[in-house]
Amino acid sequence: MSEQWMFYFDPNRCIGCHACSIACNQRHDRDADEDDWRTVTHLERGEYPDFQELPVSMSCMHCHDAPCEQVCPPDAIVKREEDGLVTVNRDRCIGCHYCAWACPYGAPTYDDEGLMSKCNMCLGEGPGSGHGKPPKQKPEDGGLKPSCVDNCVGEAIKAGPVSEVMAEASETAARRFENGAYNSRVIVEPMDEDSAAGMDDVADASIDANDEGAAAVPAGGSDADGGASDWLNG
């Protein structure tokens, strides 16, 4: 396989404006009432004045091990050799929804026909459009920048071949990714000291929750770097 393309997310730079999800809908001509290919979830905890909110932008992560592809009975979901993107051949989809359960990120959506569609990293435009397309090109080579990346006002989302995204990531994020955090499906920046400091009260109050949730945190997801923060299961 050629080099895998992947997403990068920096929660410190995300302001939760939803420009990414709206831009995605526009690029792919998705109706407002359809499920979004890219979602912005506002994680909340506590009550005023001890209230924290963390926006998390998510879409299909084009996982290197693509659980959706493994369970898809008609081979409608394809993990492409050429760029690692996960695309959908809607001419084979039977609409069984098995992929929705298998996906750790809730990426598959279903339209009125019951067929699956999801992010194709703007390999094409519209549901199923990425399938069978030539390899993803970088913008400097004439390729289309993913609309979520293009429209992110804080540059919180990036996308590209693994080596290039790694080069732009912080040393901590890159090291964690290499160590297999989040099953190496996505590169996430640790939350900075200011953000982490704001969570101290929560830290004291959530010791029990931490114990209960230990199993939900993936291998490598525990904090080994002090002060750093991570998100996403996987």
Partner 1 sequence: MTSSLIALETFVGFRWLPADYWDLSIPVYLYLAVVAGGAYLAGASAWFRRTLGGGGGRLEPELIRWGFLIAVVSAAGAGLAVMSHLAVVYRALLFPIYLTNFSSWITIGTWILVILSVIATLCLVLALFGEDAADAGDGDGRSLWPRAVVAKVGVLPTVDRLVDRVRPPTGALVALHAVGVLFAVATIYTGFELAIVETVPLWNEPVIVPALFLTSGVAAGVGLTLAVTLLFEREIGRLAGGYAVAVGVLSGVSLLIAGIGWGEVAAGGMAATASYSALTEGTLAIGVLVVALGLAVALVVGVVLGAAAALGRLPEPVERVGGPLLIGSFGLLTVSGLVMRILFLLAAEQHPVVVVA
Cβ proximity to partner 1, 43 vs 167, nearer residue: 43
Nearest approach in angstroms of CB 141 to partner 1 is 33
Q: How far is the CB of 156 from partner 1 (least distance, A)?
A: 15
Residue 139 CA to residue 159 CA, distance in Å, equals 11
153 close to 161: Cβ distance less than 8 angstroms: no
Cis amide leading into 49 (omega within 30): yes
Amino acid at 54: L
Residue reference for tokens 């297999």: 180
Nearer to partner 1, 150 or 206 (CB): 206
For residue 39, which of 218, 234, 169, 232 has the smallest C-alpha distance? 232
CB of 180 to partner 1, least distance (A): 15
Q: Which residues bind partner 1 (CB under 8 A)?
A: 41, 43-45, 52-54, 56, 58, 67, 70-75, 92-98, 100-106, 110, 113-115, 191, 196, 199-200, 202-204, 206-207, 209-210, 212-217, 221-223, 226-227, 229-233
For residues 92 and 133, which CB has a smaller minimum distance to partner 1 in the complex? 92
Sign of CA dihedral 206, 211, 216, 219: positive
Nearer to partner 1, 144 or 199 (CB): 199
Question: Between residues 97 and 137, which has the closer beta carbon with respect to partner 1?
Answer: 97
Least distance from partner 1 to the Cβ atom of residue 152, Å:
19
Residue 134 has a CB neighbour count (10 Å cut-off) of 9
Judge residue 167's burial from the number of C-beta atoms within 10 Å of its C-beta, 0-12 exposed, 13-18 middle, 19 or more buried.
exposed
β 187-188/5-9 pair status:
parallel
The least distance separating partner 1 from the CB of residue 132, rounded to whole angstroms, comes to: 17
- For partner 1, the closer of residues 167 and 219 by Cβ is 219
Q: How far is the CB of 45 from partner 1 (least distance, A)?
A: 5
